[in-house]
Amino acid sequence: MRNVTELSKLKGKVYVYLRNEVVADKFLRDAENEGFTFGDGAKPTTRPGNNLYVVNNDWTISHVGMAGHVAYQSAKMVGDQMLIRVDYEKYILN
């Protein structure tokens, strides 16, 4: 089964798209169960949901702001890292 930990091992900046509230809740619960937190140590399920997150290789996730949403729509690189787009719903079903 695919999981958030596998995403954190990809080489690049991993943006995870969450189509709706149900998928967002699943992603946040999965991330928390696997030991991921936000950068400040907060557990994923303690924060309001969003439709786009970054999964980092240091076991953290990050909310994505306006600039990140624009990058997700059009960029191929974020700084010196390849931008990797993951639709979480499709990812966990395959």
- Tell me, what's the pLDDT at 91? 98
- Tell me, what's the pLDDT at 94? 86
Determine the Cα–Cα distance for residues 9 and 56; give it in Å rounded to an integer.
Answer: 8
Determine the Cα–Cα distance for residues 27 and 63; give it in Å rounded to an integer.
Answer: 13
Q: What is the pLDDT of residues 25-65, one digit of tens each?
A: 999 999 999 999 999 999 999 999 899 999 999 999 999 99
Q: What is the mean pLDDT of residues 75-92?
A: 96
Residue 13 has pLDDT above 90, yes or no: yes
Residue 1 has pLDDT above 80, yes or no: no
Average pLDDT, the chain: 96
61: enclosing H helix or E strand: strand 60-63
Angle at CA 90, nearest 5°, toward 68 and 44? 55
Evaluated on CA atoms 45, 31, 21, 42, the torsion sign reads positive
- Tell me, what's the pLDDT at 72? 95
Assess contact for 68 and 44: CB atoms under 8 A.
Answer: no
